[in-house]
Amino acid sequence: MDVVQTALVLILLLFVILGGGLWIALALGAIGFLAMAMKVAAAPGPVLATSIWQSIAGWDLTALPMFILMGDILYRTRIAEDLFAGLAPWLQRLPGRLLHVNVIGCTVFAAVSGSSAATCATIGRISLPELEKRGYDARLSVGTLAGSGTIGLMIPPSIIMIVYASATDQSVARLFIAGVVPGLMLAALFSGFIIVWAMLNPDRMPAREARQDVAANLRATLRLLPVIALIVGVIGSIYAGFASATEAAVVGVFLAILLSAAQGALTRASLAEALLSATRTSCMICFILAGAAFLTAAMGFTGIPRALAEWIGAMGLSNWALLAALTLFFVVLGCFLDGISMVVLTTSIIMPLVEKAGFDLIWFGIYIVLVVEMAQITPPVGFNLYVLQSLTGRNIFRIGLDALPLFLLMVVAVALIAAFPQIALWLPSQMLDAR
């Protein structure tokens, strides 16, 4: 059996095992053992022990549970309600009006969450009832929220970026900074879509609300100050060079506790719930990373990734053709796997191809985040779709169809960063390389 056939057999077996309901980490480990048994005479036990230790002992990975804990604490505060109240008065004259709260609210909350599902759930709990009460189109409300929630993966601090950095040995801080401009670009594309839709469908927009006086608008805007303080504290400490990504995560947890206490939401019970939730999520991610690290090591021993890279290289694909093939591959994979699993599952296979093609690994990390965002709104395993199904009771495929225009805009975003890599690389070069 040649290398390509072996790789196809292993991939097929992985999907069969995952389809059988086995935990992802155990499935990855099982495929790693099988790969070594088929191709390598070395004992898999020492490789398993070494790879697991190396995968979870990295200092950068310490930021992961801290950012998850920060998001869980903030989830139990009024921060999303404050966002809606602070933004709503200033959007009345913009075509699409309060629909932009979905986009702007998700973009801002992403800067203090790091999770797509948490962003979608938190903003959705506040915005969807308000938009429905005011008579906005339900399909557009749900669709824009599904798409905008994915920005939580791109705007730092991003959990998926920490996972990618750990899997590829890249700088978390550089990835965080690289995600700012693409994240804002996505938000602009989504808001642009809302503006165009509202101008083409004026009959489906509700009547304008009575305008408040400037003093009332300013009072509402003051409710944004806690959010702004969090963003400045967490992201600003990284950009200014005062803290590493890991240290900034601790700053974020501290500020989240202060905000929760100031709002009266901090109790012993709520803090215990946040700690337990963050622990469960962190352990799940680290367990998957450990299984993926063993699979990566096993693949390295077998030589399969190198052989696949040589095989695809022999096909003479241009960089554009390779990116198109990888995008299609990730879109299909996203129909069955969550984002973290997609990253850790494919790293060992595609990174040799990426390096051989000469792609910048920081840029490729942003590309990966974009295609993983697309997977968040593709049924049947799109996490944001499940979140919105629980909030609205709508069919998951109906929600996926509502989010289709946002999905297509993400495809446009992939093409833009491929054509203009400096969209992702300019800010890190200005902020880090200049120091």
pLDDT in tens, 287-334: 777 777 787 677 767 776 666 656 666 777 788 888 888 888 787 777
Q: How many residues does the chain have?
A: 435
CA nearest to 342, candidates 305, 377, 373: 373
Task: State residue 362's pLDDT score.
Answer: 92
Do 384 and 116 touch, CB atoms closer than 8 A?
Answer: yes
Cα–Cα dist 406/410, whole Å: 6
* Neighbour-count burial for 383-405, b at 16+ CB within 10 Å, e otherwise: bbbbbbbebbeeeeebbbebbeb
Task: State residue 395's pLDDT score.
Answer: 81
Cα–Cα dist 429/435, whole Å: 10
CA nearest to 431, candidates 177, 223, 219: 177
pLDDT single digits (tens) 106-145: 887 777 766 677 777 777 777 787 788 878 888 899 999 9
Q: How many CA atoms lie within 13 A of 211 on its CB side?
A: 6
Task: State residue 106's pLDDT score.
Answer: 84
Cα–Cα dist 93/91, whole Å: 6
pTM of structure: 0.73
Q: What's the N-to-C CA distance of the chain in angstroms?
A: 52
Cα–Cα dist 401/407, whole Å: 10
Cα–Cα dist 399/67, whole Å: 29
For residue 266, the SS3 value is coil
Q: Which two tokens stand for residue 278?
A: 């963050």
Cα–Cα dist 344/122, whole Å: 27
CA angle 143, 144, 149 (to 5 degrees): 105
Do 375 and 382 touch, CB atoms closer than 8 A?
Answer: yes
What's at 344, amino acid-wise? V
Do 184 and 107 touch, CB atoms closer than 8 A?
Answer: yes
Long-range contacts formed by 417-424: CB under 8 A, 24+ apart? 417/182, 417/363, 417/366, 417/367, 417/370, 418/320, 418/323, 418/367, 421/360, 421/363, 423/181, 423/182, 423/185, 424/178, 424/179, 424/181, 424/182, 424/362, 424/363, 424/366, 424/367
Cα–Cα dist 201/405, whole Å: 15
Q: Which two tokens stand for residue 37?
A: 């048994």
**Which phi and psi (to 5°) does residue 360 adopt?**
-70, 130
Task: State residue 247's pLDDT score.
Answer: 79
Cα–Cα dist 369/168, whole Å: 14
Q: How many CA atoms lie within 13 A of 189 on its CB side?
A: 20
User: How do the residues of the chain divide into helix, strand and coil, expressed in percent and rounded to 5?
Assistant: 80, 0, 20
DSSP labels, 149-173: HGGGGTSSS-HHHHHHHHHHT--HH
**Strand (E) positions, 50-131?**
none
In which residue ranges of the chain is pLDDT below 70? 1-4, 39-42, 55, 57-61, 80, 113-115, 209-213, 245, 285, 296, 300, 304-313, 335-338, 348, 380-381, 432-435
Cα–Cα dist 127/91, whole Å: 14
Task: State residue 167's pLDDT score.
Answer: 80
